[in-house]
Amino acid sequence: MLRNAIQVNFAKSNRTAVSLSYREQNLLHTQARLAGRYALVPDIDLSAFHRKAVIDWVDLGFWLERETQAIHIKRWLDAALHTNCFTKLVPLNDEDERRQTGTLFSVTLQEPTILLMLAAEIAMEQKFGLEMHGLIRAIEISIDFRPKTPSPDARTRMLTVLQRHHFPPEQILRTRYDRPRFTWGKGDAQTEAVLALSRRTSLNDYLAIGGEHDRQPVGDANYYVGRRGGPVMWRLMDKVVDRQNHNAGTARYLPETEKRTRIEVTLETDEVRQLGIIFIDDLRRFRFEKLQSTYFSFMTPTFRRGRTGVMGMVTDRLEEDRRRKFLKTGVIGLREMDSALERRRAHHRPRLIEHLRKRNLKVKPEDRRGRGPFKTYVAYDELNKAVEAALRNLRERGERELKGFCM
């Protein structure tokens, strides 16, 4: 096995392991934090994939002028929109939870366009009357990478790249149930945490720096970051089925030409409001490209070149540990490791200073390069630009569809 490579195994099939290799790339950056460092870049041709962003589903909120039941809303919208929506009553108080009628309803549309959402609002106004414009309660945005030449191995390599380089906000690691995990079936027995945790706390510097208790994702599992039902959750997968209904046991199995690698983000109400989105009409002016920097950001790690002497050996050993951490757990795991190393250095530095001063030895100023939010990582420009272009195309498709439409 190559030193700079990831071997991806499978849990649900007997597929042969797939290898993704990395190459060392010298940096052209001039920032002090990157001096003498090189980046690890995956051997993958992103131009060999079609890229497309879609609204996977949206949860709309409608506050009606009169009471009704969810089943009546579903029948009306399904007939008016030629769709199959999911509707439910949203209780306004404890008493509403025991009732079947009400005035506030959630309507979920699968793979909707903005035009379809606006049509739903018009249909609801015509039939039931609305107290206010339709709300965006939650939304899921997906970006698909479909190989131009169908290939399961190409999809696995693309999935591995997305897992290793995805760079969500750092606070995602601070809550136990937000941390990265992968699942290849139902229940805890078929779910593994990527990063080891102690039983007492989400932060444990010994486990963060070491790697023996970490788990590498398998190629046929769904990979999650963020807790289900939380403000934001990501899911990365090799998408081979569509319209899956676990309760009914139904699904559409995709032909090889439609199978793709997907990264999706689910944004609940608070997160949607942070983007300035309240009403359906707000999506008409929303620049979906804005999602890239926060939700679809990808980074590449950098490593220090070895030096001679004893300190060179220490550096080489540390950088080798960092390299293994990245290949196994991605930049998410490496970022946690680097933060733990910073805390360990800060803890031991006062004793080191005291020891040197007792011997009248000079104390060198602390090297604080690479301590910022991006540490010593660099943007994965090619992937970030591909994602931004896909999100921009999503906006432009909506603009073309909405031309001439007025409410």
pLDDT value at position 80? 96
**Measured distance CA(225)–CA(180) in Å, rounded:** 4
| Residues 6 or more apart in contact with residue 361 via CB below 8 angstroms | none
Q: What pLDDT does 44 receive?
A: 97
CB 106 within 8 A of CB 141: no
Site of tokens 């932060």: 203
The pLDDT assigned to 276 comes to 95
Residue 174: predicted pLDDT: 80
Residue type for 3, please?
R
Q: Is 347 exposed, middle or buried (0-12, 13-18, 19+ CB in 10 A)?
A: exposed
**b/e code 187-219 from CB counts within 10 Å (16+ = b):** eeeeebebbbeeeeeebbbebbbebeebebbbb
Looking at residue 209, what is its pLDDT? 85
Cβ atoms 162, 263 nearer than 8 A: yes
Residue range of the domain that includes 363: 1-407
Q: Which element (helix H / strand E) includes 295?
A: helix 291-295
Q: What is the pLDDT of residue 185?
A: 87
Q: Residue 248 has what pLDDT? A: 56
Q: What is the pLDDT along the chain (407 residues), one digit of tens a residue?
A: 467 999 999 999 889 999 999 999 988 777 877 888 899 999 999 999 999 999 999 999 999 999 999 999 999 999 999 999 999 999 887 666 677 899 999 999 999 999 999 999 999 999 999 999 999 999 999 999 999 999 999 999 999 999 999 999 988 778 888 999 999 988 888 999 999 876 655 557 878 888 888 999 999 999 999 999 899 999 999 999 886 665 556 678 899 999 999 999 999 999 999 999 999 999 999 999 999 999 999 999 999 876 655 556 777 888 899 999 999 999 999 999 998 888 777 655 666 566 566 776 666 666 655 555 667 899 999 999 999 999 999 999 999 998 866 65
Total domains, the chain: 1
- Nearest by Cα to 39 from 305, 239, 274: 305
